[in-house]
Each structure stands twice: as structure tokens, then as C-alpha cells.
Amino acid sequence: MSRLLLPARSLALLLALLLLAGCSRMELVYRNLDYLIPWKVDDYLSLDAKQSAWLDARLDAHLRWHCQSELPRYIDWLDHQRPLLAGSPSSARLEAALGEARTLLQPTFARLAPDAAQLLAGLSAEQIAELDENLAEERAEFAERYLGGSLAERLQRRVEVAQPRLEFWLGPLHPQQRAYLRLWAARQEAGVRPWLDNRTRWQTGLLAQLRQTPRAELAARLEPQLAAPDRHWDGDYRQALQRSQQSLAELLAELWASATPTQRAYLQEQLDSLSADLGELVCRD
């Protein structure tokens, strides 16, 4: 199987999602990222043998660094949330905690960006065309998924995606909590178009740079875009993202304030299990 490009942002998000999205086999997934990442990115871009060997070596080094350097920071962040969850934190406090979690990703972005830029800068015209085609197909799929159908259908899809993730941590939601979730799903509608537009603009700009000549300084031009993509966000998307983050924090605050003793105990058990799984990981030398 050919090994394919994973942009810096994608790897960082994948690593973070292992912590933030809920995974009952944390240790198994984390230990096999070197296999899962190329499999995941296989939908985007085919690399030749030389590029694949280079990517394999760099990915292995990055994953060792992440396990040794960044994983302890994630565990520490999780431990620091325990006192917060002992009471009923406000949405503002939860939003701050989520912001701290996002900040944990920045060293990974910075670490991966130079290699991602170097690999992108070495793509052939045929590989750039393949990447362009696959990204366009993905954008069309996302537009259909997030904008297709009636408003009621879109809201229901959001609920169906979010509810299992929440119940992974809390157990079954009761009727009041499901009502909070439906309200949250409705609030997300205004942010869909800015998010899709921002994604299109960022990818279009990246592809335009890949096609520029001369290519001697291309890696240096690409690195800042990969390390800090937020610098390229426009005002509409920034506002939409801020509203989305506030809405998520409000949802979590409402869910926790209305949580039953059983749900509170269940969350603590899940956090204990997650911390234990992460703490038992042995990083490769």
C-alpha cells in the first residue's frame, strides 16, 4: 500500500481527538497511529516509493516525540479538570478549559509543519492534480452532509452524531439533556457555511501556492500556513467559530448541571480509565 501525505493540522487533530472525542481502546489506537495515519490519508494523495520512505521515517520520529513530550501534557490537563468537575462549572469556565485543550495542539502543529511543507513542496504536477480532485470531492461530500436536506433533517443528523459521543462519557441522556442537545444542534446551523467557505478558501490558497513557480522557496512559504492556519481565517469564520465554542461550552454546562449522580459517577469512571490507559503507555525510544 502506498503511504500518503498527512498535513500537519490533520495529524495534530487526530492525536487530539483520541483524547477529546472518546475512544474505548485508547492504548490500541495510539500504539498503531503509524499504521492508521497512512491508511486514513490514502484518500488524498499517492506518494512514490522515495516519498513514502521519507514520510515513514519522519512520522515515526514525530510519534515518538509526541508520546514522550506531548502525551504527559495531555494527561496533566485531564488531571487538572477533576476539581472543575467536582461542582457545576459555568459555561465560561468550561470554554476556558476547552481553550486550554486547543492550546495543547500548538506544539504539534509547529513540530509537524516543516516536514509537511517539505513534502508538499516536492509534489509533482500529477500529484497536485490528484490532491485537488480529492479535496474537491470531499468538499462536495461535506456540503451535501452539512447543508443537504431540510433544516429538520440536518438538525437530526447533528444530534445523531453528537449523542453517542456524549453518552460515551455520561451514559444515556435523559429527556431534559436531549432537549439541550437539540437546542445546541439548532445553534450550529449558522456556522456551517462560514466553516465550509473557510475550508474552501484555505485549500484553494494552498493549491495555488503548490502550482506557483519557481518552487525553490515553496516549503518556506507553506510552513506558516500549515503551522498556524488560523492566521488565514476571515472575520466571518472567526465569529462563527467563537459562537460555536460558546455554544458547546453552554451545552456541556447544561448537561453537567442536570447530570444525575449516576452520570457523574460514570464520567469519573471514564476519566479514570482514560488516565490509566494513557499513563500505562510505554513510549518507544
State pLDDT tens for residues 184-199.
999 999 999 999 999 8
| Residue located via cell numbers 467563537 | 242
- Residue 39's pLDDT band, with cuts at 50, 70 and 90, is low
Quickly list DSSP for 119-152.
HHHT--HHHHHHHHHHHHHHHHHHHHHHHSS-HH
Residue 3 pLDDT: 31
- Asked whether residue 1 is domain-assigned, the answer is no
- Asked whether residue 273 is domain-assigned, the answer is yes
pLDDT at residue 35 greater than cutoff 60: no
Residue 11 pLDDT: 40
How many whole angstroms separate alpha carbon 243 and alpha carbon 223?
29
Q: How far is CA 33 from the centre of its chain?
A: 15
Residue 285 pLDDT: 64
162's torsion region: left (phi>0), alpha (psi -120 to 50) or beta? alpha
Please give the backbone phi and psi of residue 213, each rounded to the nearest 5 degrees, phi first: -130, 150
- Asked whether residue 109 is domain-assigned, the answer is yes
Mean pLDDT across the stretch 155-160?
Answer: 95
- Asked whether residue 183 is domain-assigned, the answer is yes
- Residue 54's pLDDT band, with cuts at 50, 70 and 90, is confident
- Residue 157's pLDDT band, with cuts at 50, 70 and 90, is very high
Which residues span the domain enclosing 173? 8-279
Residue 113 pLDDT: 85
Residue 87 pLDDT: 81
- Asked whether residue 3 is domain-assigned, the answer is no
- Asked whether residue 247 is domain-assigned, the answer is yes
The structural domain count of the chain equals 1
- Asked whether residue 271 is domain-assigned, the answer is yes
- Residue 32's pLDDT band, with cuts at 50, 70 and 90, is low
Residue 34 pLDDT: 54
**CB of 274 within 8 A of CB of 168?**
no
- Asked whether residue 284 is domain-assigned, the answer is no
